[in-house]
């Protein structure tokens, strides 16, 4: 097996036993990127010199006989909306084309403290708005399982890189499904932690009450290991939680006996592809065989989740994106006066989808419409949260499809934004309620495209979904 195909925990063993060096491993990954990325397009920027330097330092440490951390020397890559000191962070937007952050996001500081090897920055939908990575201002990313299809989005580069062996693990961000949906489309593991578990400091804001950073990995063990590295209270993010961070690798136990798994009937309605439904039902059978109890539940406000999300997320986005005015942040396109300069800058440098969201958001927030749209959406959000609170009185985890269908064709939905938004039906309720959710691969459809399912946990209970996920992974046939 090639090194780039291995998991972080396998590579950690090889590094500690001196079977391989971090330099050799890093070079292997760059060779893979050279071979693959011209067709996949997962990366926006490579940081090769720095990566090779860092790998040498890890090797020196190993040579001195020092112990290395679980992620030390492991090659990874980062979504381009996470600030990396001295390395361009564009959010796949022309407006941040030349933005080089003077600081690291908290998650980067935490990963660097573990001496990870960052290979580069990954493609995404502009400002994380989208579900296909077709909204990148630079280039599209292709699904490694079928180059005529999208990898999902907005963390499409993050999912494609892991699936194609162009990074051992990656970080993505998830506002309405952007980690879990691409993970599902590319056949990898992706987790959105509980809102507040991971600091958002240095994550370029899309919709601040929904955004969360999380890992995309090849297996559940790596997911737990990366979570251990990135979670925790941060005084730089007032919404980060002070709840104790457990050792998530302790949840890697193969045991779901007596676990109560809820199957929400609203997630198995028309619009869900038959093959997806069958795959998810097979997952429930596996869980049942392993001693879990499957119970039908109801999340009655599910049908309002898309409209609620597509009011709240654009409203927050419109506000967050006001800062790109050609004055303090990002690119500037000159004009005769300040108003013309701002207009020119935003007209030329923002892409179509970003402009659409800004318009929807400002409309929903404007005087006269605020109560009818934004305020109402906030009320429905509370009802959606309450659905989950009620359901979790009777079950430990909730199981759903991650997406209504497998990866779609490039260009298939670009002219129909509404159809694209409907793709998010299974993932947005989890963000609206602030809950942890993980997407796991569960086989392939007839066209050989990966399918995924989602496990949703109680607030701050990543441990139970990790345990269930690990058990499934160990026992699936």
Position among 133, 178, 212, 251 found at the interface with ligand GLN (CB under 6 A) = 178
* Residue linked to tokens 């690798």: 249
Q: What is the DSSP letter of 38?
A: H
Q: Are 2 and 75 in contact (CB under 8 A)?
A: no
In whole angstroms, how close is the CB of 317 to ligand GLN at the nearest point?
8
Position among 3, 76, 111, 128 found at the interface with ligand GLN (CB under 6 A) = 128
Site string for ligand GLN, 186-205 (x = CB under 6 A): --------------------
Residue 240 a catalytic site member: no
Residue 316 interacts with ligand GLN (CB under 6 A): yes or no: no
Q: Which residue is catalytic, options 136, 178, 240, 251? A: 178
Site string for ligand GLN, 152-171 (x = CB under 6 A): --x-----------------
Q: What angle do CA 277, 278, 279 make, to 5 degrees?
A: 90
> Helical H runs in 263-351?
274-289, 305-320, 338-349
Residue 177 interacts with ligand GLN (CB under 6 A): yes or no: yes
Residue 424 interacts with ligand GLN (CB under 6 A): yes or no: yes
Structure tokens belonging to residue 142: 């292709």
Residue 131 interacts with ligand GLN (CB under 6 A): yes or no: yes
Q: What angle do CA 247, 280, 308 make, to 5 degrees?
A: 80
Structure tokens belonging to residue 134: 């077709």
Closest CA to 237 of 210, 201, 272: 201
HEC secondary structure over 102-130: CCCCHHHHHHHHCCCEEEEEECCCHHHCC
Q: Which residue is catalytic, options 79, 110, 218, 458? A: 79
Nearer to ligand GLN, 144 or 152 (CB): 152
Residue 155 a catalytic site member: no
Nearer to ligand GLN, 287 or 309 (CB): 309
Pair type for strands 212-217 and 189-192: antiparallel
Structure tokens belonging to residue 206: 């899309």
- Provide, for the chain, the percentages of residues in helix, strand and coil under a 3-state DSSP scheme, each rounded to the nearest 5: 45, 15, 40
Residue 19 a catalytic site member: no
Which of these ranges, 72-80, 128-136, 408-416, 455-463, lies near ligand GLN under the rule CB under 6 A? 128-136
Position among 306, 312, 313, 426 found at the interface with ligand GLN (CB under 6 A) = 313
Which of these ranges, 123-131, 161-169, 363-371, 388-396, lies near ligand GLN under the rule CB under 6 A? 123-131
Catalytic positions, written as ranges = 79, 154, 178
- Residues forming contacts to ligand GLN in the complex (CB under 6 A) are 128-131, 154, 174-178, 206, 313, 424
């Amino acid at each position: 097996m090639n090194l780039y195909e291995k998991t972080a925990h396998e590579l950690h063993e090889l590094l500690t036993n001196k079977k391989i060096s971090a330099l050799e491993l890093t070079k292997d990954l760059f060779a893979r990127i050279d071979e693959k990325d011209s067709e996949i397009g997962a990366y926006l920027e490579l940081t090769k010199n720095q990566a090779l330097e860092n790998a040498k330092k890890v090797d020196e440490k190993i040579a001195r006989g020092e112990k290395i951390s679980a992620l030390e020397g492991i090659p990874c890559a980062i979504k381009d909306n996470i600030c990396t000191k001295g390395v361009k962070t564009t959010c796949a937007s022309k407006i941040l084309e030349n933005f080089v952050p003077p600081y690291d996001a908290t998650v980067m500081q935490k990963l660097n403290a573990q001496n990870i090897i960052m290979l580069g920055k990954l493609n995404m939908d502009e400002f994380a708005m989208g579900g296909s990575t077709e909204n990148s201002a630079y280039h599209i990313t292709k699904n490694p399982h079928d180059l005529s299809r999208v990898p999902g989005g907005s963390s499409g580069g993050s999912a494609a890189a892991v699936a194609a062996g162009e990074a051992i693990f990656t970080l993505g961000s998830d506002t309405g499904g952007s980690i879990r949906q691409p993970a599902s489309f590319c056949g990898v593991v992706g987790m959105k932690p509980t809102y507040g578990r991971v600091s958002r400091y240095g994550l370029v804001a899309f919709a601040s009450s929904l955004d969360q950073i999380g890992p995309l990995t090849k297996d559940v063990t790596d997911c737990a290991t990366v979570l251990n590295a990135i979670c925790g209270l941060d005084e730089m993010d007032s919404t980060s939680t002070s709840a104790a961070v457990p050792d998530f690798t302790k949840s890697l136990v193969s045991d779901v006996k007596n676990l109560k798994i809820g199957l929400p009937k609203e997630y198995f309605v028309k619009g869900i592809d038959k093959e997806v439904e069958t795959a998810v039902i097979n997952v429930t059978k596996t869980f049942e065989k392993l001693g879990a109890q499957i119970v039908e539940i109801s999340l009655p406000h599910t049908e309002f989740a898309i409209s609620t999300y597509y009011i709240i997320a654009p409203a927050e986005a419109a506000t967050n994106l006001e800062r790109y005015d050609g004055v303090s942040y990002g690119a500037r396109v000159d004009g005769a006066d300040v108003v013309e300069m701002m207009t020119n800058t935003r007209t030329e440098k923002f892409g179509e989808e970003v402009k659409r969201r800004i318009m929807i958001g400002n409309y929903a927030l404007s005087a006269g419409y605020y109560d009818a749209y934004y305020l109402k959406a906030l009320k429905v959000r509370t009802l959606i949260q309450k659905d989950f609170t009620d359901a979790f009185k009777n079950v430990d985890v909730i199981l759903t499809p991650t997406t209504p269908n497998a990866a779609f064709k490039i260009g298939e939905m670009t002219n129909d934004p509404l159809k694209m938004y409907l793709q998010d039906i299974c993932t947005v309720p989890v963000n609206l309620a602030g809950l942890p959710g993980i997407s796991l691969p569960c086989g392939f459809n007839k066209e050989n495209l990966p399918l995924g399912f989602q496990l949703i946990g109680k607030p701050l209970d990543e441990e139970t979904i990790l345990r269930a996920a690990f058990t499934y992974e160990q026992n699936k046939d």
